[in-house]
């Protein structure tokens, strides 16, 4: 009954609220934050070191090989003879074959030989004490979940990391990485079966007409004593097992902008961005000493329609399973009418003039059948919708009209206009009912089914108006050329790019576009798009996607479809898009909304995975032709050295992730949401855990942030060690330059770590959001120094049940903080002595053994700390009478930078008592030393130094930036 009353209240609120009212909360809100951008390529010691490390890791033999025993048991055997078991006896419909990198590939086949579009195959019960799943939490994004039981592995799991005990009492643990594959028309994922308590492989083409009886390569399993190595081996084996699928990060050339500070226009202006606003934003940052060297021109530059075509008779065909709901709804009507008796009494008691007439009528008359009650405020009964023709060929229409000059954001305009208390009440009522009852409801629940019917019937016109007026989701692309804001009154996109380069020092400019063109695709009625023959298609989400996000069934495209391109015209489409940007001087693209394309792949005869892969390949080929730097890649996209100036975003379906051959920058988590306080801490943990997989496919992107926001320091610290580009989306004049100077050097470069920042091994399987005791710890490495970040993110998470970010004050305790140098999971940090420097407390501890545990007290909720970990070297000093003295030393880097260890590019000692360094940047430089320096020289010039004998901290100043592309030569003499 509560569900029925909730839907009734929702219908009432939607009918009485004006079209301009903001309703639906975050679910219906304008799309928020997003991605990064470009710059000049520079050879550096760090990059060389990183390449050597990747090559060494790729060729090193596996420390454990996964095999199938005689009893069909999946086991890992190590070189020392120890072993661990992952599954018991595999079912008969599971095949197995050994693969490269010590991996095992499982296939699935129907026992009865019947071809199906969707199949579920039982694999077995995990013999692990703990697992970590990376699974989709929205159509666009993945998120982490930890657990113990096989049956609770979430649907749409795309990587599963299982921790298994060795079989002997003294045998070490083994980590198994399970990576479902995408091959041809089929896509595999993992899911637990709550009833049987076992793990299943789901195989789906997404198209009822594309069927198969088997998938030979469905799941790769790799193992290692090192969990990061297990994941890397699984990804490498998958890349080689499915030819032409994707390349790993080490086989790609990342774009040059990654080592420079950037600015994105999205959260500063959203789609109301204009050329003069872009220039103002860049000038504002330059004036404060944080010059952006790359820029992302986000959504708002393209020529799109106004969305009114959604009201021209395109109707969403009601699914068959919902046709009985109106009859059931009539059965509820008598009960619902009783609930209005009390409301009528309230209305008759003095609400006249406050409550809209529609609500008074409803309280007086009860709930009439939908056909008898025309929409309010439209002046005439609604006309029946014209039957949808989603597959009709596109017909040329009048020439597409460019966008009108930008108006203030519709949601902001609606909020600024005076509204009656009743209108506000209706909007709040609709928001509350939707977020409380509909949003958390399972897809097949009665309330979700009732809402699907209501949104396709009585609420349809209101929801369409809502999407049209408050979002860009109903708009489609009408031309490849920029809109009137960027091509009018003497302005042009080309002129803007020229000014950014020549006058403001921006070296690389990227432009945003969706993989499908725009949020609602490509307009089938725009003359400039007629050569692509776009046609309307309605989304047909895959079965498991609806379990993850039921709202896909009632998003804007479900009402009016989207304009889609056939696969044979993908090359023409992307070439047209990118050629126009190239003519304007743009250097690359941020390609968004990628995981939303699959739902339009049904009906093309390929299956959804193959449809998406065809689009991704065409996009990469075009980006190679139009944006790759000279010598960085062939026009056909061939060659392992190809460089693609592409940032991939909203792309966490495996059919996207496992299709990137050249795209080397991939967003690792959901957007940065400035106004959602519950999202900030959750953003950190999501990106860090997702980086386990994303970091093997490309350079991770942490998204933009606001330097002056409420959680700015938290975001800045995470990005400092995240391994991706660092960029903000500040509004002009709203900056924290003190914070930015901890990230950005005066020349606009940054100290980027070498890898993807990933959770430390002691937090990999902990619930850092809810267990009340664990800090999120993230590690990375620079050329010589390691870095560990600790964050208290307890009490903030993405709720899979409520399908929104939540903050739980009761679960936000202070947590204890301890670490050891060996948490930096690279060989130099696994043995020997180290110096550990805390950025915020300035505490230096040395010497510290690799496995020596250091305690740092407690972290309060939302607090953080960064630690530089530097291996200690020893110099042997000769004395006059032949005596020798050992001096311990370790470079810590720039003490005022969040990832100061990234400034140290090279370091070596000399038998003559010298330590020689090559260093980037300027500012206070620190070293651990067991004795003071006799002399410090920077670029041949002697400089003053200070020595704190209690802490062992040697400090001196690098007063100037070296010339671009060069490094400081530092010599520290101890005798």
Residues 160-196: tens digit of each pLDDT: 999 999 887 778 899 999 999 999 999 999 999 999 9
Q: Is the pLDDT of residue 430 over 90?
A: no
- Asked whether the beta carbons of 917 and 951 are under 8 A apart, the reply is no
| Span 417-439, average pLDDT | 70
Convert the pLDDT of each residue in 360-406 to its tens digit: 443 334 333 333 323 322 222 233 333 333 333 333 333 333 333 33
| Span 439-460, average pLDDT | 90
Binned at pLDDT 50, 70 and 90, residue 630 comes out as: low
Query: What is d(CA 37, CA 35) in angstroms, rounded to the nearest whole number?
Result: 8
| Span 564-590, average pLDDT | 97
Give the chain's largest Cα–Cα span: 109
Convert the pLDDT of each residue in 87-135 to its tens digit: 999 999 999 999 999 999 999 999 888 999 999 999 999 999 999 999 9
* Closest by CA position to 441, among listed 451, 455, 431, 432: 451
Q: What is the pLDDT of residue 428?
A: 73
Burial of 295-325, coded b for 16+ CB within 10 Å and e otherwise, reads bbbbbbbbbbbebebbeeebbbeeeeebeeb
Q: Is the pLDDT of residue 205 over 80?
A: yes
Q: What is the pLDDT of residue 544?
A: 97
Binned at pLDDT 50, 70 and 90, residue 464 comes out as: confident
Binned at pLDDT 50, 70 and 90, residue 643 comes out as: low
Q: What is the pLDDT of residue 809?
A: 81
Q: Is the pLDDT of residue 782 over 60?
A: yes
Contacts of 745 (CB under 8 A, 6+ apart): 751, 920, 921, 922, 961
Which range has highest mean pLDDT (3-7, 642-646, 842-846)?
842-846
- Of 230-244, 384-398, 478-492, 525-539, least confident by mean pLDDT is 384-398
Q: Can you list the alpha helix ranges (DSSP code H) found in 181-261? A: 227-241
Q: What is the pLDDT of residue 697?
A: 98
- Of 357-361, 602-606, 924-928, least confident by mean pLDDT is 357-361
273, 274, 275, 276 alpha-carbon torsion, rounded to 10°: -110
| CA 547 to chain CA centroid, nearest Å | 20
Q: What is the pLDDT of residue 404?
A: 34
| Span 580-584, average pLDDT | 97
Query: What is d(CA 666, CA 595) in angstroms, rounded to the nearest whole number?
Result: 13
- Of 42-51, 144-153, 196-205, 887-896, least confident by mean pLDDT is 42-51
Q: What pTM value is reported for the model?
A: 0.86
| Span 45-61, average pLDDT | 43
Q: Is the pLDDT of residue 38 over 50?
A: no
Q: Is the pLDDT of residue 55 over 70?
A: no
- Mean pLDDT score across all residues of the chain: 84
Which range has highest mean pLDDT (74-88, 130-144, 467-481, 557-571)?
130-144
Q: What is the pLDDT of residue 290?
A: 98
Convert the pLDDT of each residue in 546-557 to its tens digit: 999 999 999 889
- pLDDT > 70: percent of the chain: 79
Token pair of 21 as six digits: 């009212």
Ramachandran angles phi, psi of 26, nearest 5°: -65, -25
| Span 277-293, average pLDDT | 98
- Of 153-157, 271-275, 456-460, 721-725, least confident by mean pLDDT is 456-460
CA distances from 595 to 129, 168, 544, 592, 599 (A): 33, 44, 14, 9, 9
Query: What is d(CA 562, CA 111) in angstroms, rounded to the nearest whole number?
Result: 39
Q: Is the pLDDT of residue 836 over 60?
A: yes
Binned at pLDDT 50, 70 and 90, residue 138 comes out as: very high
| Span 886-896, average pLDDT | 96
Token pair of 61 as six digits: 């033999």
Q: What is the pLDDT of residue 880?
A: 58
Q: Is the pLDDT of residue 415 over 70?
A: no
Q: Is the pLDDT of residue 155 over 70?
A: yes
């Amino acid at each position: 009954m509560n569900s029925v009353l909730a839907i009734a209240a929702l219908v009432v609120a939607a009918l009485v609220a004006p079209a301009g009212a903001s309703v639906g909360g975050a679910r219906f809100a304008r799309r928020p934050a997003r991605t990064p951008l470009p710059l000049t390529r520079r050879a550096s010691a760090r990059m060389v070191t990183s390449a050597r490390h990747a090559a060494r890791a790729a060729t090193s033999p596996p420390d454990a090989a996964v095999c199938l025993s005689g009893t069909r048991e999946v086991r890992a055997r190590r070189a020392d003879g120890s072993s661990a078991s992952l599954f018991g006896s595999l079912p008969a419909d599971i095949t197995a074959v050994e693969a490269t990198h010590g991996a095992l590939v499982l296939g699935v086949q129907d026992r009865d030989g019947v071809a199906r579009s969707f199949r579920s195959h039982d694999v077995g019960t995990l013999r692990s004490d703990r697992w970590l799943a990376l699974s989709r939490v929205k159509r666009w994004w993945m998120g982490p979940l930890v657990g113990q039981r096989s049956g609770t592995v979430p649907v749409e799991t795309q990587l599963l990391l299982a921790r298994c005990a060795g079989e002997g009492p003294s045998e070490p643990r083994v980590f198994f990485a399970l990576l479902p594959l995408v091959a041809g028309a089929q896509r595999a994922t993992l899911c637990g079966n709550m009833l049987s308590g076992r793990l299943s492989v789901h195989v789906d083409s997404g198209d009822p007409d594309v069927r198969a009886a088997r998938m030979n390569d469905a799941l790769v399993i790799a193992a290692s004593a090192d969990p990061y190595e297990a994941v890397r081996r699984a990804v490498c084996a998958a890349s080689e097992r499915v030819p032409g699928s994707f390349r790993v990060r080490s086989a790609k050339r990342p774009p040059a902008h990654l080592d420079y500070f950037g600015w994105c226009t999205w959260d500063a202006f959203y789609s109301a961005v204009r050329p003069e606003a872009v220039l103002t934003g860049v000038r504002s940052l330059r004036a404060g000493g944080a010059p952006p060297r790359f820029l992302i021109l986000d959504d708002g530059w393209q020529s799109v329609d106004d969305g009114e075509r959604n009201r021209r008779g395109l109707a969403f065909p009601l699914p068959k399973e919902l046709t009985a709901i109106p009859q059931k709804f009539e059965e509820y009507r008598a009960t619902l009418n009783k609930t209005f008796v009390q409301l009528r009494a309230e209305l008759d008691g003095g609400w006249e003039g406050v409550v809209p007439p529609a609500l008074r009528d409803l309280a007086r008359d009860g709930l009439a059948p939908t056909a008898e009650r025309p929409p309010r405020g439209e002046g005439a009964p609604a006309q029946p919708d014209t039957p949808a023709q989603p597959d009709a060929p596109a017909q040329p229409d009048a020439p597409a009209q460019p966008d009108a000059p930008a108006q203030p954001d519709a949601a902001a305009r609606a909020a600024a206009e005076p509204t009656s208390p009743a209108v506000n009440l209706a909007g709040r009522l609709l928001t509350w009912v939707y977020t409380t009852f509909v949003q958390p409801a399972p897809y097949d629940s009665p309330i979700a089914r009732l809402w699907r019917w209501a949104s396709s019937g009585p609420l349809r016109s209101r929801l369409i108006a809502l999407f049209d007026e408050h979002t860009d989701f109903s708009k489609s692309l009408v031309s490849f050329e920029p809109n009137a804001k960027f091509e009018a009154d003497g302005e042009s996109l080309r002129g803007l790019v020229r000014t950014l380069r020549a006058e403001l020092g921006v070296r690389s400019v990227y432009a945003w576009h969706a993989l499908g063109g725009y949020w609602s695709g490509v307009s089938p009625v725009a003359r400039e798009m007629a050569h692509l023959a776009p046609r309307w298609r309605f989304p047909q989400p895959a079965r498991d996607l609806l379990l993850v996000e039921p709202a896909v069934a009632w998003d804007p495209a479900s009402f009016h479809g989207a304009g889609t391109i056939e696969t044979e015209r993908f090359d023409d489409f992307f070439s047209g898009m990118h050629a126009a940007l190239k003519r304007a001087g743009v250097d690359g693209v941020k390609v968004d909304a990628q995981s939303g394309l699959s739902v339009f792949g049904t009906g093309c005869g390929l299956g959804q995975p193959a449809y998406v892969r065809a689009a991704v390949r065409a996009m990469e080929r075009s980006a190679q032709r139009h944006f790759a730097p000279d010598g960085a890649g062939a026009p056909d996209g061939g060659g392992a050295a190809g460089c693609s100036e592409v940032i991939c975003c909203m792309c966490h379906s495996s059919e996207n992730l496992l299709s990137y051959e050249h795209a080397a920058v991939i967003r690792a988590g959901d957007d940065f949401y400035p106004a959602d306080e519950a999202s900030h801490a959750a953003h950190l943990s999501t990106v860090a855990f997702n980086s386990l997989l994303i970091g093997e496919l490309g350079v991770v992107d942490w998204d933009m942030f606001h330097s002056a926001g409420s959680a700015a320091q938290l975001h800045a610290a995470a990005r400092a060690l995240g391994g991706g580009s660092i960029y903000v989306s500040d509004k002009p004049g709203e900056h924290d330059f003190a914070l930015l100077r901890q990230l950005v050097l005066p020349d606009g470069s940054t100290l980027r770590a070498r890898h993807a920042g990933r959770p430390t091994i002691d937090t990999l399987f902990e619930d850092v959001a809810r267990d009340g005791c664990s800090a999120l710890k993230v590690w990375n490495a620079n050329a010589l120094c390691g870095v560990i970040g600790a964050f208290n993110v307890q009490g903030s998470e993405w709720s899979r049940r409520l399908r929104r970010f939540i903050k739980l004050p009761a679960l936000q305790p202070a947590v204890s903080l301890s670490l050891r140098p060996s948490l930096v999971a690279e060989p130099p940090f696994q043995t020997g002595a180290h110096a550990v420097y805390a950025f915020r407390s300035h505490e230096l501890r040395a010497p510290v053994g690799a496995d020596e545990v250091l305690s740092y007290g407690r972290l309060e909720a939302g607090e953080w700390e960064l630690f530089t970990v530097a291996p200690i070297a020893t110099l042997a000093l000769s004395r006059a009478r032949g005596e020798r003295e050992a001096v311990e030393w370790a470079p810590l880097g720039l003490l005022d930078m969040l990832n100061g260890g990234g400034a140290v590019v090279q370091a070596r000692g000399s038998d003559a008592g010298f330590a020689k360094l090559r260093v980037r940047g300027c500012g206070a430089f620190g070293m651990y030393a067991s004795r003071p320096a006799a002399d410090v020289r920077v670029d041949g010039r002697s400089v003053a130094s200070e020595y704190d004998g209690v802490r062992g901290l040697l400090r001196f100043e690098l007063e100037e930036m070296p010339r671009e592309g060069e490094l400081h030569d530092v010599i520290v003499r101890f005798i």
